[in-house]
Structure 1
Amino acid sequence: MLALIYDKTLSPFAAPAESRSSLRQALPQILAVCVKNVLLLGFGMTLGFPTILIPSLSGNVPDEPISLGQEAISWIGSINLICVPVGCLLSGAVTQPIGRKRAMQLVNIPFLTAWLLFYFSNDVWQIFLALCITGFTGGLLEAPVSTHPTAAFTVLTYVAEITQPHLRGMLSSTSTMAVILGMLSQFLLGTFLAWRVVAFCNCVVPVLAFTLLIFVPETPIWLISKNRYLDARKSIAWLRGWTSLNEIELEFQELCRQLGKANEIGIEDPATPTIPTLSKIEQLKLFTKKNFWWPYAIVSLSFFLSHFNGIGTLQTYSIKIFATLRSPIDKYYATVILGIVELLGCVACVTLVHFIGKRVINFISLIGSGCCFFIVAIYSYVAEIEYLDASSRKEDKYNWIPTFFLISSAFLSYLGIRILPWILTGEVFSNETRATASGLSGAIGYIFGFFANKVFLSMISIITLPGTFWFNSAISFLGAILLYFFLPETEGKTLYAITEHFLGNNKLDNKVQRTGIDNKAFELEESRV
């Protein structure tokens, strides 16, 4: 169907610009982003799968041939995260030569391999290998193209390069929702099916994503960079409502000007300034300046808070935690509800952040989630629940308290602090460092996630479950204080104003700018390859 539509870009019956409705112009961009989101859905599945894998391999399932101890279990919940930065290192070498679309297609092959390895595994090393493959492939998918100073995340680059400015923000926000839906699907399937059956069912998604990506075009930006001008015109025509090539010629020429290709296609471009090429030494010096290390410190702090406030480990070990606390509802149902409220929190964040700003929404997020974990810690202490051991726990009429507040903490975390660092990554860095800085930010985020999951069981062994939850609560309260002093309000501000703030040339106020801003610097930056 999509292939037939794509062929219409060459048809004399393609709709002219004046006859195309806003819906028709937006529809192909929405379709392309939805196809990309199927890929992110699969990535989210790899993040949610350890949650149902951990209880199945903890020695509580009689017919399961693989049984792991506490140390191995801690690796199950974390090893995939530490492999993501490794994939980041190769992402640029993969994406830039072959294109965004083909790179997104190819990562489905190792995803499919990992799911089959899970299904047929009969030894622990196969489980760990499959987890490493999912993490490494996730790095190839999400990581920045660090070999070029103006590249961006593979999937985010695809969205940025195929969408028009007025649709870009809304469509970009669907990426996080797709990942959360992928995680939620694992919680839901794990409620009714054995983990091997879930792994086999998951094989459908990479096959589907690979197939659907055949029918959407490559980004015109990448095609122009490779001097494939006719293909670039066809791509733009498809994305702008399946129109004729003549109708998109002006947009094509503008993209060529922005990419310095105007002379090659025979159009004059006297107004476009020459972008100087920096030497390797000059590029490295950019990362010693205040406008890099200061925003990088804030982003790193945000990632630290998002993983050590407790929600990351709750997400990974939720089934064991709900079982230990004797949730009044089934531990698998409770985990499904946890995933649902995470999705609702993400939707609320996308909706509310434009009105109340990043500072306020993250104060609410951190203080609220900190209070939730503090209450759960008190309950665990009073009930004398020290370790993750459901067998020694007695029923009581107040066991709804920890379940309610843990689920509330998930909503509050995804309302702000779990989303904040990813939003900041695209805003606070200068044009010259944004791509590489985004990669470094994503890498430190996954490293923090690895350590948070890896040390969780050890922390419970040393300071008990109440002590661990009190630690998470303290991190949230301390984080709210630090962000109050160091996080400027960037919502609605131009990238130029944000960059000047971190250079020390001006100071951003803490008011939310709600009027529309034509951010030329951002548009130009996104258009480069």
Structure 2
Amino acid sequence: MVVKSNSPGDFDKRISGLRRSLPQIIAVTVKNILLLAYGMTIGFPTILIPSLSGGNPHEKIVLEPEAISWIGSANYLSVPLGCLLSGAITQPIGRRRAMQLVTTPFLASWLLYHFSTEAWQVFLALCLTGFAGGLLEAPTLTYLAEVTTPNLRGVLASTSTVSIIAGILIEFMLGTFLHWRNVALISCSVPVLACLLLFCVPESPYWLISKNRLEDARKSTAWLRGWLEVEDVEKEFNELVEQLKRTSRSQAAEEASEEGQSTFNKKLKKSRQNLSMYTKKPFLWPFGLVSFVFALGHFSGMTTLQTYAVNIFATLKAPIDKYYATIILGIAEALGCILSSILVHFVGKRKMNFFSLTGTAVCFFVVATYAYLIDVKALQIASKHNELDTENRSWLPLTFLVGAAFFSHSGIRILPWMLIGEVYYSKIRATASGFSGAMSYIFGFLSNKVFFSMIASFTLPETEGKTLFQITEHFAGGPKLDNKVNNFVRMRKMKKKNLENGRVNKAFDGEDGEQANSKF
């Protein structure tokens, strides 16, 4: 396939479609390495949590369950702060330099992980990774939009999420075979690689024109359109310049209409106009819709599963090593993203969301029923690496948890990010997108932070046939009750048998135990 050059003076020159597309693909791929680095920071807590939970006697840092819940959520909490500063940093220094700047906190966080000796250092590294992820939002989204042509923009945009999921999968794989400190050290290479490769791709021509760097903008456009000569892209370049001039003239006319007003009154009027746009239906309805879909995605269970995957697989007795199970989980997420990217253009977002929600709900319902039947009392926090007993193992929970990962990432976890760029009108799109992205990370923080509290609150023990002493001890934090109904006759037989074997002291058993206890 070949297409003609856009140059007005060289219409006979023919450029292949591959040559026109390849520079844009390369530029977006380099940008995606940064998103890969961010995905690795999201996947890292999954291998960090079991390592710091007390299962390894040689580990310097050991955390309590409350602190563990913060490991799974602290990075999400600091992302909105980065989002707020992202646009302010991107416009003055440019898209490419902003992306290179973000590699610094990524590198610092990985080094902090590797050399950490105190818990606060781990939490600081978590906050740094979240902050860096927020800083990424404006330069990566803007760069993608400004260096691609309309026919490639949608396809290349879908690779962003795939890159993040790939980063998560890489961390799962590294954590299976290496100590978490070594994983952190290896992960340092990705932001360094991204920073170096960004020198090899051009800055956005839009930004260069806005800074009146016209010759650099010509070279950038020529590079992105197939490594052409500057003269071959003169027509497209002139169109870009004219578009930006029209925008500048519109802003100048708006300022001229306010001539004669004081600076304070101008700023006050502009602030009121800007705020009023966010109190009207064109913002509130889309914002409510996107926020609702983000809430569904995070509270459907997948965010928590992704963070506590190792512990959940250990608790539900996966038939393979729990770290290998996380790799399968990551592969399922990646396959779901790829399927979503392909089918959404044919099926539509609405049907894909219903398909995703239904499949995810069925999978988690089956796993919940299985957990109830095998009498899971609490999440297994501390466990040894590669510890695997052969009793009561089943493929059922592993299969359906992997199924939930696939279904959720084929729709409800991915499509809200596509909606953000479509549901807001142009004048508020940038800011509204930032608000929506911040809501996503807030929901992610909440879903992980309240996980342990929900386990403690929603676990309803079976009290039928249990002694009052056993029940009060359960709710006081002592030995946990199982979900079996204790039949009176069976209890008597077991008590008699235990007494005969010398395993039970009658003074502390059953009703006698309660009476003995009441004397003290």
TM-score for both structures, normalised by structure 1:
0.79
Q: How does 1:142-291 map to 2 (within 5 A)?
A: 142=137, 153-260=138-245, 276=254, 279-291=270-282
Quick one: distance in 1 between partners of 2:345 and 2:247?
37
Q: How does 1:370-409 map to 2 (within 5 A)?
A: 370-389=361-380, 399-409=394-404
- Kindly indicate whether residue 120 of structure 2 is the aligned counterpart of residue 129 of structure 1: no
- Kindly indicate whether residue 67 of structure 2 is the aligned counterpart of residue 72 of structure 1: yes
Residue of structure 2 equivalent to 1:437: 432
Residue 395 of structure 1 and its aligned partner are, at CA, apart by: 5.5
Residue 362 of structure 1 and its aligned partner are, at CA, apart by: 0.6
Q: Deviations over 1:133-161 (max 9, x none)?
A: 1111111112xxxxxxxxxx320110110
Asked if the contact 1:236–1:248 (Cα under 8 Å) also holds between the matched residues in 2, the reply is yes
Q: Give the 3-state SS of the residue equivalent to 1:260 in structure 2.
A: helix
Structure 2 vs 1, CA of residues 133 and 119 (structure 1 numbering), >3 Å: closer, same or farther?
same
Structure 2 vs 1, CA of residues 163 and 304 (structure 1 numbering), >3 Å: closer, same or farther?
same
Structure 2 vs 1, CA of residues 115 and 275 (structure 1 numbering), >3 Å: closer, same or farther?
farther
Residue 464 of structure 1 and its aligned partner are, at CA, apart by: 3.1
Residue 420 of structure 1 and its aligned partner are, at CA, apart by: 1.7
Q: Deviations over 1:425-457 (max 9, x none)?
A: 011111111111100000010000000000111
Structure 2 residue identity aligned to 1:378: T
Q: How does 1:224-373 map to 2 (within 5 A)?
A: 224-260=209-245, 276=254, 279-373=270-364
Residue 371 of structure 1 and its aligned partner are, at CA, apart by: 0.9
Residue of structure 2 equivalent to 1:141: 136
Q: How does 1:86-101 map to 2 (within 5 A)?
A: 86-101=81-96
Residue of structure 1 equivalent to 2:497: none
Residue of structure 2 equivalent to 1:459: 454
Structure 2 vs 1, CA of residues 391 and 101 (structure 1 numbering), >3 Å: closer, same or farther?
closer
Asked if the contact 2:36–2:167 (Cα under 8 Å) also holds between the matched residues in 1, the reply is yes
Quick one: distance in 2 between partners of 1:208 and 1:123?
29
Residue 51 of structure 1 and its aligned partner are, at CA, apart by: 0.4
Structure 2 vs 1, CA of residues 390 and 224 (structure 1 numbering), >3 Å: closer, same or farther?
closer
Structure 2 residue identity aligned to 1:247: D
Structure 2 residue identity aligned to 1:160: A
Residue 260 of structure 1 and its aligned partner are, at CA, apart by: 1.3
Residue of structure 1 equivalent to 2:475: none
Quick one: distance in 2 between partners of 1:385 and 1:28?
53
Residue 396 of structure 1 and its aligned partner are, at CA, apart by: 5.4
Quick one: distance in 1 between partners of 2:48 and 2:309?
11
Quick one: distance in 1 between partners of 2:65 and 2:461?
19
Asked if the contact 1:379–1:402 (Cα under 8 Å) also holds between the matched residues in 2, the reply is yes
Runs of 4+ in 1 over 4 A off after TM superposition: 272-278, 390-398
Of the structure 1 ranges 25-34 and 188-197, higher mean CA displacement relative to structure 2 is found in: 25-34
Q: Deviations over 1:164-202 (max 9, x none)?
A: 111111111111111110010000000000000000000
Asked if the contact 2:43–2:307 (Cα under 8 Å) also holds between the matched residues in 1, the reply is yes
Q: Considering only aligned residues, what root-mean-square deviation do their CA atoms show, in Å?
A: 2.2
Asked if the contact 2:317–2:393 (Cα under 8 Å) also holds between the matched residues in 1, the reply is no
Structure 2 residue identity aligned to 1:354: H
Give the gaps of 5 or more residues in structure 1.
1-14, 143-152, 264-268, 468-529
Asked if the contact 2:110–2:125 (Cα under 8 Å) also holds between the matched residues in 1, the reply is yes
- Kindly indicate whether residue 97 of structure 2 is the aligned counterpart of residue 112 of structure 1: no
Quick one: distance in 1 between partners of 2:110 and 2:251?
50
Residue 279 of structure 1 and its aligned partner are, at CA, apart by: 1.9
Q: Give the 3-state SS of the residue equivalent to 2:348 in structure 1.
A: helix
Quick one: distance in 2 between partners of 1:376 and 1:89?
39
Quick one: distance in 2 between partners of 1:274 and 1:466?
69
Asked if the contact 1:40–1:179 (Cα under 8 Å) also holds between the matched residues in 2, the reply is yes
For the pair shown, which has the larger CA radius of gyration, 1 or 2? 2
Asked if the contact 2:41–2:168 (Cα under 8 Å) also holds between the matched residues in 1, the reply is yes
Structure 2 vs 1, CA of residues 116 and 391 (structure 1 numbering), >3 Å: closer, same or farther?
closer
Asked if the contact 2:317–2:392 (Cα under 8 Å) also holds between the matched residues in 1, the reply is no
Quick one: distance in 1 between partners of 2:16 and 2:443?
46
Structure 2 residue identity aligned to 1:388: L
Q: Deviations over 1:452-481 (max 9, x none)?
A: 0001111112213999xxxxxxxxxxxxxx
Residue of structure 2 equivalent to 1:495: none
Structure 2 residue identity aligned to 1:403: L
Quick one: distance in 2 between partners of 1:180 and 1:163?
23
Asked if the contact 2:319–2:393 (Cα under 8 Å) also holds between the matched residues in 1, the reply is no
Asked if the contact 1:87–1:136 (Cα under 8 Å) also holds between the matched residues in 2, the reply is yes
Residue 276 of structure 1 and its aligned partner are, at CA, apart by: 4.8
Residue 399 of structure 1 and its aligned partner are, at CA, apart by: 1.9
Structure 2 vs 1, CA of residues 206 and 273 (structure 1 numbering), >3 Å: closer, same or farther?
closer
Structure 2 vs 1, CA of residues 395 and 238 (structure 1 numbering), >3 Å: closer, same or farther?
same
Structure 2 residue identity aligned to 1:114: S
Structure 2 vs 1, CA of residues 384 and 394 (structure 1 numbering), >3 Å: closer, same or farther?
farther
Q: How does 1:418-433 map to 2 (within 5 A)?
A: 418-433=413-428
Asked if the contact 1:386–1:460 (Cα under 8 Å) also holds between the matched residues in 2, the reply is no
Quick one: distance in 2 between partners of 1:129 and 1:193?
22
Structure 2 vs 1, CA of residues 261 and 247 (structure 1 numbering), >3 Å: closer, same or farther?
farther
Q: Give the 3-state SS of the residue equivalent to 1:20 in structure 2.
A: strand
Quick one: distance in 1 between partners of 2:47 and 2:26?
31
Asked if the contact 2:105–2:129 (Cα under 8 Å) also holds between the matched residues in 1, the reply is yes
Structure 1 residue identity aligned to 2:419: L
Quick one: distance in 2 between partners of 1:356 and 1:210?
38
Structure 2 vs 1, CA of residues 326 and 79 (structure 1 numbering), >3 Å: closer, same or farther?
same
Quick one: distance in 1 between partners of 2:83 and 2:51?
30
Quick one: distance in 2 between partners of 1:364 and 1:328?
28
Residue 18 of structure 1 and its aligned partner are, at CA, apart by: 2.3
